[in-house]
Structure 1
Amino acid sequence: MKTSRHSTLRAGLAAAAALAVLAGLAGIAYEQIGRYRAVRDFPAPGKMVDVGAGRRIQLDCRGTGSPTVVFEAGLSVDGSLSWSAVQPKVAAHTRACAYSRAGLMWSDPSNTPPGAAQAVHDLHAVLAKSGERGPFVLAGQSLGGLYALGFTHRFGAEVAGLVLVDPSHPEQVERVAHFMTESRSMRSRIGIALAPFGVLRAAAPVLLPESPHHSAQDMEAVRAFAPKSLRTQLAESDAADASLAEAKSFRDLGDRPLVVLTAMAPYTAAELRGMKITPEQGRQVQAIWKRMHEEMAAWSSRGRHLLVADAGHDIQLDRPQVVADAVLSVVDAVRSSSR
């Protein structure tokens, strides 16, 4: 009788293992088909630029004129599409380029660690390889603002002006540490680990719901590339502390025209829950954020600080005309200086 029970248990475990293997193989096939369809159904806007070592970076440049505006996205999964509402407005007046960092959307991943140094190196390479020449006006949002500062620190002769859109500040973590403690979800890491089995692709509609700021076509593209982009986003988030520390020396912008935009819409209930703070603490954090941006505007003798009362952190999506106007004001200042 005992032997029979053991045989039944072994048979059950074997069947479960076989089902798990079949499910895993089905998931792998689902993910591979999804990757193929993503490339087939959503071709990269602009062009793919070979930056060496067999890697290609997506670059989308439009319009004509000088200086050339280069957009740097924040810690997001939509790459160059983060600027889809702003780029056409700017491209009507001058050359405007948006790109997707390594591992985001269409761009190939990099073998070097993510972060400011890697982003700056890739951006310089993709601009040079594609024949785009300065002077450049850099427009960076959130963490992308620090990357824009890093580019200016490393290749300052090519940068004529900057627009920082609700940018990260090098000391932001320590200044708000007594209000919140940053946490990186284990669920995100598990999801990334299971991405080769199609888990993230299947969950993409839930993880990345419809947005009023993106077209249906763009949202489909973002979801199609989500398994790759979400992995990169997590890696960049893990490297954020190092990027912030490195940026502490990027505070001298000389007399370059500079605009710093600060989002001043009250934090939503969802944002407060995510930060694990009360509405009153949210107001205090926002006041600290505003003061940090005032400091950043003073890093140039021609810096301006503008508050955007009705926009959240993604000002380029909430109020694209405000961002476009800020960019074009810097473009005009650069043109006036060169006459």
Structure 2
Amino acid sequence: MLRALIACVALIFFGCTKKASDRYVSLNGRDQHIVELGSGEPVVVFVSGFGDGLDAFDKLQREVSKVTRTISYDRAGLGNSALMGKDRSLDSLVFELNEILQRDNISGPYILVGHSYGCHISRYFAHVYPENVAGIVLLDPGIEDLDDEIRRMKTAEEIKSYDSLYEFGRDPDWPEGKKREAHYFRSNEALLKRKQVKFSGDIPTTVITAVNMPESTLPFLKGVSQMKIALHKRWKATFPHIKHVLAENSGHYVHHDETTLVVDEIKKVITATRD
């Protein structure tokens, strides 16, 4: 009788069929922050760009949650998630994401929506856990071949300035989690090359490229946006099954500048996976 009473009280105060939308998952005793909205399958998982927390997806997640279940999360050391280890390699990042989803009983396969550096993580997740990925949408993705392209196109002096940006261009006020990610940025791009991470023909994939990027005032970064667009087009030529969308009115945060376009493309991938 006492157990039944306790169970009833628990139902009143906490519920048993619906989890709170804003909560924490413990990894090695460290709280990792996630937000869940919506219901249905497949689950859309948002993967933020370099240094960004899950709030970068606020508007987009609200819109997509109208048609299916969605999850966003703060990577370790970012937003409201506690720091994990210093190893911020892609192997660690995708392992942690998979652990968060598994420990919270969020079943796949998932549609991964990555932005910028989050696209590296999304692509590598699909490489390591292909059975857990139903679709991918990449928002103005970083591309590991851009470094080579810059070195091919720029002068020796410009390349020296470019390299110094990586070495000395970090803001001392960055949170520790962001500093740790920055430390691994180049080695993670090298990992994508070494592992020859490709786009599987079994996974519907859409790449959305920001076209309306402001030109950098730094000589060694001038023309980089056009290099990125050309490399995204090369992806399409190499992997014809992927869909490539040019967001003509967007800067780097495509999901902020052209939310409706991004939502529509995510919905198309959702439909493709359901069909």
By the TM > 0.5 criterion, same fold?
yes
- Output the amino acid matched with 1:247: L
Q: Which residue of 2 aligns with 1:173?
A: 147
Instruction: Map residues 1-339 of structure 1 onto 2, 5 A cutoff.
Output: 46-51=22-27, 53-77=28-52, 79-177=53-151, 178-179=153-154, 180=158, 181-182=162-163, 183-184=165-166, 186=168, 188=170, 191-192=172-173, 230-248=175-193, 249-268=196-215, 272-273=216-217, 276-277=218-219, 282=222, 284-297=223-236, 302-336=241-275
Of structures 1 and 2, the larger Rg is shown by: 1
CA distance in structure 2 between the aligned counterparts of 1:295 and 1:161, rounded to whole angstroms: 20
**SS in structure 2 opposite 1:161?**
strand
CA distance in structure 1 between the aligned counterparts of 2:49 and 2:101, rounded to whole angstroms: 19
- Identity score, percent: 25
Instruction: Give me the CA root mean square deviation.
Output: 2.1
- Output the amino acid matched with 1:164: L
1:156-198: CA deviations, max 9, x gaps?
0010110011101121111123445141474746x35xxxxxx
The answer to which structure has the higher helix fraction is 1
CA distance in structure 1 between the aligned counterparts of 2:238 and 2:41, rounded to whole angstroms: 24
Q: Is the 8 A contact 1:255 1:302 kept in 2?
A: no
- Output the amino acid matched with 2:219: I
CA distance in structure 1 between the aligned counterparts of 2:238 and 2:76, rounded to whole angstroms: 29
CA distance in structure 2 between the aligned counterparts of 1:300 and 1:93, rounded to whole angstroms: 29
Structure of greater relative contact order (alpha carbons < 8 Å, 6+ residues apart): 1
**SS in structure 1 opposite 2:59?**
coil
TM-superposed CA distance for 1:290, in Å, is 1.1
1:88-133: CA deviations, max 9, x gaps?
1100000111100000011111114113121101100000000100
TM-superposed CA distance for 1:332, in Å, is 0.8
Structure 1: which 5+ residue stretches go unaligned? 1-43, 193-226
1:205-250: CA deviations, max 9, x gaps?
xxxxxxxxxxxxxxxxxxxxxx6xx322222122111111111211
With structure 2 as the length reference, what TM-score do the two structures score? Answer: 0.83
With structure 1 as the length reference, what TM-score do the two structures score? Answer: 0.68
Call closer, same or farther: CA 1:266–1:47 in 2, change over 3 Å.
closer
Count of aligned residue pairs for this structure pair: 246
CA distance in structure 2 between the aligned counterparts of 1:187 and 1:313, rounded to whole angstroms: 20
- Output the amino acid matched with 1:134: G
CA distance in structure 2 between the aligned counterparts of 1:256 and 1:299, rounded to whole angstroms: 15
CA distance in structure 1 between the aligned counterparts of 2:24 and 2:213, rounded to whole angstroms: 39
Q: Is the 8 A contact 2:213 2:252 kept in 1?
A: no
